[in-house]
Structure 1
């Protein structure tokens, strides 16, 4: 997956900021990267995808794996500020019914 990632932890929430594309063919799996980030704080993740230009089926799968991983540990995944392209795809496949999507000015 061709993406860049930054994160910070505040209390029981890990804020993750993605940019680039969540697509097949890259070297990193988003779910594996997030699993490493939340290893010591496996509660809630707010994933800002406002700078993600495109997401394909592999990226969608990684979001679902991440949600499941967090739920097993008592946490939850929230997608924050999806870009227009991602938002259209998420709605088209009804992922907005499976994963909470939040639109906010800033996520700390």
Structure 2
């Protein structure tokens, strides 16, 4: 399965939308997108997981590393709308208390 990643940013906010499976083979795509945003002037990144059907430990590690780096820069990384399978992984690993997880994806104002 593929992983498609797209980003949208406005001001200091960015939304990263991932769809497909996030695993050992596809995680570098998400890592590259997050790394690009971390080099910019972004204070807040929201990762839209509503289209992610599967996520393994490699995917979680990519998200954790990005959150740590952004926090060091004074910013925040949040996870939005994880599907039940991904939410379960977050709960089982205790990462639901590490990440800020919301049910809805914020909409960036295009104007």
Look up the match of 1:90.
90
* TM-align CA RMSD: 1.8
| TM-score (norm. length: structure 2) | 0.87
Deviation, structure 1 residue 55: 0.5
CA distance in 2, matches of 1:27, 1:46: 17
Look up the match of 2:15.
15
Contact 1:50 1:80 in 2 (8 A): yes
| TM-score (norm. length: structure 1) | 0.89
Higher relative helix content = 2
CA distance in 2, matches of 1:29, 1:96: 23
**C-alpha spacing 1:34/1:85, structure 2 compared with 1 (3 Å):** same
Structure 1: unaligned runs, 5 residues or longer: none
- Residue deviations 1:26-52 (CA, integer Å, cap 9, x gap): 372523321113422231101100000
Look up the match of 1:73.
73
CA distance in 2, matches of 1:27, 1:67: 15
Look up the match of 1:48.
48
Alignment size in residue pairs:
107
Deviation, structure 1 residue 84: 1.2
- Residue deviations 1:45-100 (CA, integer Å, cap 9, x gap): 01100000000011111111010111111111100000111011111111011010
**C-alpha spacing 1:32/1:69, structure 2 compared with 1 (3 Å):** farther
Contact 1:53 1:86 in 2 (8 A): yes
